[in-house]
Structure formats: structure tokens, C-alpha cells
Chains A and B, each alone.
Chain A
């Protein structure tokens, strides 16, 4: 009965005003998680009949924003206006009733049910299934989406593109007028992307407002009318449909790439200023001093390394690289493209299925974590909270969980508290870890201080090679500076670093060479000696390298 929606679209279409009305407006949305501000005063707006592309790297705050708009999470502050009316979206159900439909990144269809059954799962408040009504509704939606789908096919038998259409139909089942698509193309073939584009065109004509989330630039060009770029939880750029119309495609591309990856401190500036500040932005690039490492000994060498594990993650395939003593080797790439597998394969937490890993010429491929640790391998993990520390153990013990059973902190299998506490106090002092006491539970500290615990643990006991995985992700400005300072200090003392990061500023500031990883493979390597390096890497990352 709520599918009076269709006539609503017609209304919008007929009324000339309707085409440009603000459908959804999010004002100054802020959402913080312990240690991370995921959304920092973000504004977005989308009009009916418009596709707004929300661009940003992983961790930029897209997902948080979407979960706020879809009622899965509540913002700490900020307001949301739907059709000009302030609305509180307290639950997914309310979002649905307000006409917000969401298509999630991963399929939510149940493969053993038919298309129709999948769609009717969303029908609430009815005792009997209204099969006839549902079929009619599907017919209307299918024509809108531009494809005929047999309602009695099992969802699992559909091609991915068709599944996508069913997902969209499912999102619109309650009669939505705002459609949110969360990285919908991540699992589609190029042909299916074109179909999706056609579907979106017709939805636009019906007057729907669409928010399209992606990190691929060419999709944003193909599908979007307006563009909003998020970076590190802030809105750094908004280009309205009109503004884009006034710029050439290459200009737009440059502006967007710059705001996504560029090294100017535009995170603070707002959309209007970005356009004017463009020329001055490049002055702020912190120049990396090119060092000559050609004479330096190769410390770490990967030869065709592929990894395996129990987990359903992207594994690395055929990675070959070598790192010299005193070098900082960067790995850039969009999050989730095998960075963790690479790090874990190097430190021994993940087994190497093919290829070899050499440390100072010694084949260490078969060694376990402990053995590699004793050679001088260290790993600053990106999963600080659940892997790096044990939240329920004290700060002091967390500093020593990689030295359990070792003298002088353990004697005959028993903890030697005086030696351990003395060393722990020294480390807390040296790395300025702010903790109420040695016995405070590690999990109660802030993200920055937890990271300091990790750094103290990895850097204190004579490290040779340190793998840093997103070491400054989600940290405040001061701690970021501290972390980078420690890394530089370590390298200046002859240490070797593999730095994995999604933050290009960080990579260009610290690294000598940078490889770009995509789907578990190294797709390119650049020497860090050009001022345009961030843009070069950015192009590799979005698969847009010319």
C-alpha cells in the first residue's frame, strides 16, 4: 500500500519545481568512535533527479555517513532534513518509511529464495502474503529498471547484474524516493555497469534522488551529476551539477584527484575555497629528501611471494620487491587490497604458499612468528584494538606479550614483576604513553596511547625490519607527528621499514620508493622524487593510469 510511490515519482516529474527540490540534506553530521572521528561536520545535499557521487578512500567516512542516513547509527550531532523537514532517523525501519532505500555493497539476497520471495521479505505488518500485488509491483519496478526479471527464478541463479537490479528493486520496494547505492559496481562486469547506468538514468527521470558511493573515479564521471569528496572524515570538496557543467572533464578530474589524494592541507578548507586555493595548494607539499641508497645492503627480499590463510581476505599473489638497509619502502593502495596479507606474510602470521622471503640473504619463508621476531622482524599492526593489544590485560603486560617466558622478565615460567615493571615504566616514560598506572587495562586507553604501546613494544627491543601497517590511521594530529618522528628516528639509526598506508601524504613524506598494490598484486612502483607523485599514485589506485 505504500507503493503509492510510483505516482509520487510521476508527480515529481510533472511538477517542474519537483525536479530541483532538495530531497535530502545532511547538515554538520559528526560521529566519533573511540579514537577516531569518522564524520567531522559533514554536509551533503542531494536533489531529486540527481545522482550525487560520494567519493573517498576507505576510512574517509563514507560508510559511517551511509549508516547514519540509513538509520543504523545515530550521529553525535548534526541534523538531517528529508524534503525540507528535520527528521530523526532512529532505525532502519524509520529510514525506510521516510523513503530512503539502501543497496549495500554485499548482496543481501537469499539465494535459495525466488526473486519475488526475496522482495516480499521486506513486507511487514501483513499476515498473509500478497503475491498478486507483489507481482504487479515487481512489473512496474522492472520496467523502471529497464530489465525483465522472472519473479520465480531463484535469486542464486541470477547473473550478478540482475542480482543488482533485484537489490535495487528491493531497496525501492517500500516506495523510496532516495536511493543509496554503496559501492554497487564492486562486483559488476563492465557490461553490467552500463546496465546500471541505464537504470540510474531512468530512475533519475522518475525524479529519484540517488547517492552513489564509489572510490573509482571513472564511475563517478560516468554516473554522477554532482560530486562530494570525503577525506579523513571531512568533506573536502563539493561540485554541484552546475559547477561540473562549467568545467572541462580534465579540469574536473584534476580537481577531484587533488582533493582526494593531493598533499595540500585542504582537509580544513571547504568546497568553495578549494576551487580558489587550487593554485596555491602545491606550495604546502612537504618535500621528501631523496637519499642515495644504491650502496646499501639489501635487507629484505620477496621473490614471487603468494600467501594463504583460513580467512576470507584478499591474499597477495606473486609479490617481488627488495628493501635496502635504511630504506623506507611504501605500499600504497585502497584498503583491503591485500595489504594485511602482505604484512602478515612477511612477519610470519600468514603462511607463504609460493615464493620465498629472504632476510639478509637467509631464506626465512618457513620460519614462524617467534623465530622471525628473534631475527629482528617487528610488526605494528593496523588492528590495534583486537590484535595489537589485549584489552583485558594491563598496560605493563601488553608491553611484554611478545616476550613471554623470556629472561629477565620471566624466570622458570614465572613473571619477574620487578624487572618487568621497571622496564615497563621506562618505556611508558620514553614513549610518553599516558596511562593512569602500570596496571590499568590496556583497552581503556585512547587510540593514540594504544598505538604508543604498540610502538614501544616493537621499537624498544633491537628491531631490524619493522612493518608498519597504517600506523597513523585514525590518530590525532599530535600523535601522528610523534609516530612519524619515531619512524624517521628508527630509519636514521639504520633501521629498515615497510610502510603500508592509505594516506598518500604520509607515504610521500616518509618513503624512498612506493609500490601500489591492487587486488593483492603490485601494479606499479615509483621513486619518490617528483612533486606530482601523489597524483601519479592516485591514478594507479583508482585504475585510471594513463
Chain B
């Protein structure tokens, strides 16, 4: 019985991905591209030979964003300000790292920079968290609005104080290669991956084994229950938002110090948008989300080249993500109905059909 349920869960989880890849292929055919070439390119540039190491480098910030989202989503809090939280961290890291790394030991500089990025990401969540805790204001809207403001602010920083004076393009100074995070020996994967994995396992432990995790689950199930059990709801909201923002800020430090080395204005990798469906597919469980985030880092790494070679915009990858989301919704709907032993036809539609039939009978 239990193994059957696991099997069903596995299908419910993997099927949306397969269906999305398949219908993505159909779309490519309609666009006059060869889907087999497209997908084999993704394999070639995302996994084959040593390219999996590039995917692994990209995986690190995505994993941190995913964990940052899981922490709040599990509590039914929707921090959608991930872009702002990420970019303010990225701007600060790119702005300060060229100076800090020159004036102190690089390890201390990396540490301080990461703390700064995490603190900045967390700081962006303070206003939405306060509004939610104090007035119950919808955090989806406030965190999103805060994100727009923060992105604007990050761009001002890049164009203003952090602008590289030697070039015209609005961008920060490029961090010299020897001041970037080192690679894991024998690979070209940044050690940021280790940081991300350590954080992921740490958070998983926090959520699944500690009293804090239990309080979070109670709050997530019902804030009334939490209040009833004596859990301070405002404190919970603040803590979770701050952890989420800090993890997303940390993602930017791993990404800039380990991969990019600089930022330009209007650059926005928007990991949160891409990762969002995958944390749901992972049922908001950190460990279960790992393979999905890996899958997407391969898709994104290989896809960046693959879309170019097929003459497509890189936004085609987001089409695939959207298709995953779509199929996930449909399959979850059917799955839930099956669990409840109900018919798959929406009750409204059924009533309508039944009604028009009985009206026909009358007539």
C-alpha cells in the first residue's frame, strides 16, 4: 500500500516534466525547429563531457533560492520579492568585492561579503513582514512591490557609486579571477556549491527535526492554531521572511563571487521565477526539490546554448517551465480528485450538463 502510494507520488511528480518536454518538442516542430537537435544540444552542453560542471556551478545559487522559497512557502507565506532580494545582494557584492578583496584576506572578504548580501536580502523583507505581522496585509503584493523598488535601487547603485569609471557601459568593476571563489579541486565547479548544499541540508534538518520546524508547520497549517498553541505569529512571520531573504541574498553572493564577477544594470537572472514550479513539484521538501533544481540547472545551462543554436530566444526555456506548471496543475487536480474518490469532471460543468439534460427532458 505504502509502496503504491510512493509510486503514484513519483508519477504525479515526474509526469508533468515529461509532458512539458514532449509538448515543448511539438512546439519546436510547429516553429520549424528540430526538437531532437534541440534536446540533444541541451544534453551536450548541459551534461555531456565536462559541461555538467557548469550546470553544477549554476545549481548552487538556484538551490539557495529554492531553499529560501521553501522556508516561507511551507508556512503559507508567499515571498515573491526574490528578484529584488537577489539583485540588491548582487549589486552590493559586485560593488564592494573589488575593494574588500584587495585590502584583506580573500577568505575574510568573501565571508563579510556573503554576510552583507544575506543581510541586504533579509532587510528587503522587513517591510512586507512587518505589514503582514501587524495588519495582515497580503504579503504577495507587498513583497512584489518591494522587489520593484529594490531592483530600481540596485540599478542606481550600479550606475552611481559602483560604476566602473573606466568603461561607458553601466556595470561594476570586474572582480579579478584570482579573487573569485576557488574551484572544488579537480573540477571547475565553484566551492559555492558546497555552501549551497550545506545550507540546504541545514535547513532541511531545521524544518524536519527541530521544534522550530514543527512550529513552522503548525503556523503553515493554520495561523489560528499557532496562536492557540501559544506560538507568536508576528515573530514567526518575521523570522521566516528574514531567513528567506537571507538565503536568497546568499544565493547572489555564491553566484557573483563564484561565477559572474560583476553585474550590469537591468541584468536579472530571475532564478525565483524559474525555480518556483520545481519547489512545488518537490512538495516543498528540500531533499525532494534537489533533483528538480538539478534538472533545471541542466536545462538552463544547456538550453542557453541550445536555444541560440536553434535560433530561438532563451525565453523558450521559460515556455518549458510554464508548461511544467500547467501540467502540474492539471495532474494535481486529477490526483486530488482521485484521492477523494471523486469524478474528474468539475462539479460545475457536471451540474451544467445534468441541468441542460433535465431541461431537455422537460421540453
Interface residues of A (CB under 8 A from B): 90-91, 93-94, 310, 349, 368-370, 373, 379, 381, 383, 386-393, 397, 401-402, 404-405, 410, 413-415
Contact = CB atoms under 8 A, between A and B. Distances in A.
Contact of B211 (A91, A368, A379, A405): A405
A39 B214 CA distance: 38
B41 to A, nearest CB: 43
A345 to B, nearest CB: 13
A393 B217 contact: yes
B34 to A, nearest CB: 47
B218 A401 contact: yes
Nearest to A348: B230
A386 B227 contact: no
Contact of B221 (A94, A368, A393, A414): A393
8 contacts: A93-B355, A383-B224, A387-B225, A387-B228, A388-B225, A388-B228, A404-B211, A405-B211
A397 B227 contact: no
B contact face: mostly helix, strand, loop, or mixed: helix
Interface in B180-234: 209-212, 214-215, 217-218, 221-222, 224-225, 227-232
A165 B214 CA distance: 52
Contacts of A402: 229-230
Given A368-B230, A381-B228, A390-B217, 19 more contacts: A90-B355, A94-B355, A94-B358, A349-B227, A370-B230, A386-B224, A387-B225, A387-B228, A388-B225, A389-B225, A390-B218, A390-B225, A401-B218, A402-B230, A404-B214, A404-B231, A410-B211, A414-B209, A415-B214
Contacts of A91: 351, 355
Interface of B: 135-136, 209-212, 214-215, 217-218, 221-222, 224-225, 227-232, 351, 354-355, 358
Nearest to A386: B222
Contacts of B209: 414-415
Nearest to B228: A387
B232 A368 contact: yes
A37 to B, nearest CB: 22
Given A93-B355, A390-B222, A391-B221, A413 B136 contact: no
B227 A369 contact: yes
Given A90-B355, A368-B230, A401 B211 contact: no
Interface centre among B212, B215, B221, B358 (most CB of A within 10 A): B221
A90 B357 CA distance: 13
Nearest to B229: A401
Interface centre among A90, A93, A387 (most CB of B within 10 A): A387
Contacts of A90: 351, 354-355
A373 B224 contact: no
A209 B355 CA distance: 25
A55 B87 CA distance: 62
B221 A373 contact: no
B221 A413 contact: no
Contacts of B212: 413
Nearest to A401: B229
Contacts of B232: 368, 370
Contacts of B225: 386-390, 401
Q: Which 3 A-B pairs have the closest CB atoms?
A: A370-B230, A369-B230, A387-B224
Given A373-B230, A383-B224, A391-B221, A397 B214 contact: yes
A415 B211 contact: yes
Nearest to A391: B221
A228 B228 CA distance: 38
A413 B210 contact: yes
B229 A404 contact: yes
Contacts of B218: 390, 393, 401, 404
B185 to A, nearest CB: 35
